[in-house]
């Protein structure tokens, strides 16, 4: 099939050199919304060995009117993962474990699945393990509402009878990967992760203001309180849990700059450990992903970027390094509404851009021909071909459900009107290809997804009433009572408030939070099971009680 290639002009995307004197006042402007009546942010920028920007905005404690400063301690969310990854890699460098080891060698509590899960898969988030926090939320206790511990998380992980996908075949971010890495590091080293990292990382690097939140009740001097914004004001949103390694690192902007310097100096572990840290993961099919050892390795603004963001309760964080320019940027916030990656990259644009140079990047953007000549001269489909696309489609791999409707002799997916390329191919915002009866393949620039046709939602009394009953899950340690009131399906997980389900397809519903509830029937049409899927934990099983 022909393709039309257009060259779009982007100004300033690939600057020739870093400005000698970046306009740092532009960074000040980015944080003008945080002041003496709001929580805020600490931001620091280092160029080579010189810290060229180091400021704080807003308050660390709204009740006592204590301002944030460059020495304020924040929680860094998933930025912490790179410290856990580094700990495992240090043990690998010492020959105490191998990255190809089956994790059950160290954590036999984890069930056997369709294929072994290796330590490398944990590092790259390709294990398929269900996120313990997402499974825990199905009990009615999402994170920040109960005290999760390392032991409790391991118990949850050990109860899962399946993975989200065959290990090694996909990338799916899950905190379970890094919680298991903590267990492995502790069992292999014979030390707690806190003691191990203090000895091997924090002390050698002079990170004197860094520690793990292994006891949320501990008084930590200079720590900012975390907040979230309500309609009228702010309220506290602290991480009341004693599990760490996936997150839970208390630190300052200055200490994270010391840590990021390792990406330039390789002072701990040498060149080999550095290569392991930044080596992108690979799937079983050979496809490379951008996640490495607790780090995303990607491109931004024409430069290589090594980064990670973080979010725990009301804390937000972002840490990035641009090796070609030897630039480190760190942002730490106690405002849950703060967008760390978005604003962090705005800072990067200011630092990376040379205002005296007007660079033009002729970036090729390949557009399918359906976006050009076929849009001007659309084809029409015969009725049998229209029916091939019309209906409700369920993703084979993910929770996604798409509906294609016929309106005024045209097909629409959401608000996108389909452009007919051939009797088997339609372009919405992505290309849909009919491959065989009841199957379509949806192609976009980064992935290929298969969908199968499912029956439309059946809201008849007979169908809905057959869903009524009690469902028990060993995996989630929860019991759901499903009821139907006024043709609406409700789930009651006592003592929590009942919530309704929104119909999507036959026996398939979504909650208001976006979780998918699929009722399964036996060969006689009797409902026997409920499968609940959240963003990071799919097909958590609930069996219907007779």
pLDDT over 70 (residue 7): no
207 and 313 assigned to the same domain? yes
For the chain, report the end-to-end CA distance as a whole number of angstroms.
55
Give the 3-state secondary structure percentages of the chain, helix then strand then coil, rounded to 5.
25, 35, 45
User: Does residue 359 form part of some domain?
Assistant: no
pLDDT 10s digits, 470-488:
999 999 999 999 999 999 9
Q: Considering the domain boundaries, does residue 76 fall inside one? A: yes
Quick one: pLDDT at residue 191? Answer: 98
112-120 long-range contacts, Cβ below 8 Å, gap at least 24? Answer: 113/162, 113/163, 113/166, 113/167, 114/163, 114/166, 114/167, 115/166, 115/167, 115/168, 116/167, 117/163, 117/167, 117/168, 118/167, 118/168, 119/88, 119/92, 119/181, 119/184, 120/281
Contacts of 134 (CB under 8 A, 6+ apart): 534, 535, 536, 537
- Residues 339, 340, 343, 349, CA torsion sign: negative
- Mean pLDDT along residues 403-408: 90
Read off the CATH number of the domain in which 490 is found: 2.40.128.50
pLDDT at 399: 87
Q: From 426, 454, 482, give the residue that closes a domain.
A: 454
CATH code: domain of residue 327:
3.40.710.10
Mean pLDDT of the 137-152 span: 89
For the segment 153-208, what is each residue's pLDDT rounded down to a tens digit?
A: 999 999 999 999 999 999 999 999 999 999 999 999 999 999 999 999 999 999 99
Cβ-Cβ contacts under 8 Å for 39 (sequence gap 6 or more): 58, 59, 60, 62, 68, 224, 225, 226, 227, 234, 314, 333, 334, 335
Domain boundary among 421, 454, 487: 454
CB 186 within 8 A of CB 192: yes
Q: How confident is the model at residue 435 (pLDDT cuts 50, 70, 90)?
A: confident
Residue from 329, 335, 341 nearest 55 by CA: 329
Same domain, 70 and 191: yes
Give the list of residues 6+ apart from residue 507 with CB closer than 8 angstroms, or none.
Answer: 458, 463, 467, 518, 519, 520, 521, 527
User: What is the crossing angle of helices 270-278 and 81-93, to 10°?
Assistant: 130
| Per-residue pLDDT band at 445 (split at 50, 70, 90) | low
Q: Which residues contact 254 (CB under 8 A, 6 or more apart)?
A: 44, 54, 70, 71, 209
Q: Which residue has the tokens 């029956």?
A: 455
The pLDDT score that the predictor gives to residue 376 is: 61
Task: Kindly report whether the global pTM for this prediction surpasses the value 0.75.
Answer: yes
Cross-strand pairs, 335: 227
Question: Is residue 3 a part of any domain in this protein?
Answer: no
Q: Is the pLDDT of residue 337 over 90?
A: yes
Do 229 and 96 lie in a common domain? yes
Handedness of CA 153, 157, 163, 169 (dihedral sign): positive
Looking at the fold, whether 384 and 480 belong to one and the same domain comes out as no
Quick one: 518 and 499 in the same domain? yes
**What confidence score (pLDDT) does residue 446 get?**
60
Please tell me the predicted confidence (pLDDT) of residue 377: 65
Instruction: Give me the percent of the chain exceeding a pLDDT of 90.
Output: 81
Instruction: From residue 231, give the alpha-carbon distance in Å to each of 38, 285, 311, 476.
Output: 14, 48, 21, 33
Rounded Cα–Cα distance for residues 55 and 310 (Å): 20
How many independent structural domains does the chain possess? Answer: 3
Report whether 480 contacts 487 (CB < 8 A): no
Q: Could you tell me if residue 71 is inside a domain?
A: yes
Q: Residue 444 CB: number of other CB atoms within 10 A?
A: 10
Within this chain, do residues 99 and 224 fall inside the same structural domain, yes or no? yes
Residue 437 phi, psi (nearest 5): -55, 120
pLDDT of residue 58: 98
Q: Map residue 454 onto helix, strand or coil.
A: strand
Residue 384 confidence (pLDDT): 87
Residue 138: pLDDT over 70: yes
Burial code of 43-75, b = ≥16 C-beta within 10 A, e = fewer? bbbbbeeeeebbbbbbbbbbeeeeebeeebbbb
What confidence category does residue 74 fall into, taking pLDDT thresholds of 50, 70 and 90?
Answer: very high
Arithmetic mean of pLDDT, 137-147: 86
Last residue of one domain, picked from the residues 308, 333, 352: 352
Note the pLDDT of residue 17: 40
In a domain, 361, yes or no: no
> Average pLDDT of the chain?
91
84-136, pLDDT tens digit by residue? 999 999 999 999 999 999 999 999 999 999 999 999 999 999 999 999 999 99
User: Do residues 17 and 346 make contact, with C-beta atoms less than 8 angstroms apart?
Assistant: no
Answer yes or no: do 224 and 336 share one domain. Answer: yes
In a domain, 400, yes or no: yes
What local confidence, expressed as pLDDT, does residue 374 receive? Answer: 60
Domain presence at residue 305: yes
The Cα 290–Cα 281 span in angstroms is 7
525 falls within a domain: yes
What are the pLDDT digits (tens) for 9-49?
A: 333 333 334 445 688 999 999 999 999 999 999 999 999 99
d(CA 431, CA 420): 10
> Lowest-confidence range among 90-94, 254-258, 335-339, 424-428?
424-428
69 lies in the same domain as 104: yes
Residues 406 and 526 in one domain: no
**Per-residue pLDDT tens over the stretch 358-371:** 343 433 333 444 44
Residues 515 and 448 in one domain: no
Full residue range of the structural domain in which residue 413 is found = 379-454
pLDDT tens digit sequence for 510-546: 999 999 999 999 999 999 999 999 989 999 999 999 8
- Say yes or no: 445 and 469 in one domain: no
| Tokens found for residue 258 | 């010391």
Residues 433 and 537 in one domain: no
Q: How many CB atoms lie within 10 A of CB 338?
A: 26
Residue with tokens 């004001």: 233
Cα–Cα distance measured from residue 241 to residue 504, given in angstroms and rounded to the nearest whole number: 35
| 383 φ/ψ angles, rounded to the nearest 5 degrees | -55, -45
CB atoms within 10 A of CB 250: 23
């Amino acid at each position: 099939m022909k393709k039309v290639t257009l060259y779009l002009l982007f100004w300033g995307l690939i600057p020739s050199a870093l400005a000698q004197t970046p306009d740092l006042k532009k960074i000040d402007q980015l944080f003008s919304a945080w002041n003496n009546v709001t929580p805020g942010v600490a931001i620091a920028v280092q160029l080579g060995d010189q810290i060229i920007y180091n400021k704080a905005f807003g308050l660390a404690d709204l009740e006592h009117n204590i301002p944030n400063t460059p020495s304020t301690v924040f929680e860094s969310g998933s930025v912490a993962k790179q410290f856990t990854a580094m700990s495992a890699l240090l043990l690998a460098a010492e020959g105490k474990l191998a990255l190809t080891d089956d994790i059950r060698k160290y954590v036999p509590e984890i069930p056997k699945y369709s294929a072994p899960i290796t330590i490398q898969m944990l590092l790259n988030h390709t294990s398929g393990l269900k996120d313990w926090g997402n499974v825990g939320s199905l009990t009615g206790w999402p994170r920040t509402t109960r005290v999760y511990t390392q032991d409790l998380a391991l118990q949850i992980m050990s109860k899962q009878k399946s993975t989200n996908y065959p290990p090694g075949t996909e990338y799916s971010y899950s905190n379970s990967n890094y919680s298991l890495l903590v267990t492995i590091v502790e069992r292999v080293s014979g030390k707690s992760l806190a003691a191990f990292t203090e000895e091997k990382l924090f002390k050698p690097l002079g990170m004197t203001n860094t520690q793990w939140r292994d006891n949320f009740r501990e008084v930590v001097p200079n720590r900012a309180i975390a907040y979230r914004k309500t309609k009228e004001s702010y309220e506290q949103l602290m991480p009341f849990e004693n599990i760490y390694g996936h997150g839970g690192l208390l630190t300052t902007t200055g200490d994270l700059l010391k840590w990021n310097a390792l990406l330039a100096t390789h002072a701990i572990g040498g060149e080999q450990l550095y290569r392991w840290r930044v080596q992108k993961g690979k799937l079983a099919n050979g496809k490379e992903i951008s996640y490495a050892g607790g780090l995303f390795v990607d491109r931004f603004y024409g430069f290589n970027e090594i980064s990670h963001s973080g979010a725990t309760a009301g804390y937000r964080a972002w840490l990035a390094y641009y090796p070609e320019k030897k630039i480190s940027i760190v942002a730490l916030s106690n405002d849950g509404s703060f967008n760390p990656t978005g604003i962090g990259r705005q800072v990067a644009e200011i630092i990376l851009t040379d205002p005296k140079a007007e660079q033009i990047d002729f970036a090729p953007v390949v557009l399918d021909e359906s976006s050009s000549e076929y849009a001007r001269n659309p084809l029409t489909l015969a009725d049998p071909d229209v029916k091939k696309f019309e209906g409700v489609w369920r993703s084979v791999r993910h929770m996604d459900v798409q509906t294609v409707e016929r309106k005024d002799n045209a097909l629409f997916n959401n608000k996108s009107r389909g452009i007919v390329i051939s009797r088997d191919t339609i372009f919405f915002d992505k290309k849909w290809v009919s491959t065989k009866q009841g199957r379509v393949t949806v192609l976009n620039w980064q992935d290929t997804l298969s969908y199968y046709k499912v029956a439309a939602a059946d809201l008849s009394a007979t169908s809905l009433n057959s869903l009524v009953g009690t469902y028990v899950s060993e995996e989630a340690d929860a019991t759901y009572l499903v009821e139907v009131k006024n043709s609406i399906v409700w789930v009651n997980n006592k003592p929590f408030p009942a919530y309704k389900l929104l119909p999507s397809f036959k026996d398939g519903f979504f909650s208001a939070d976006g979780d998918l509830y699929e009722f399964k029937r036996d060969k006689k049409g009797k409902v026997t099971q409920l499968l609940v899927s959240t963003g990071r934990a799919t097909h958590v099983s609930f069996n219907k009680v007779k």
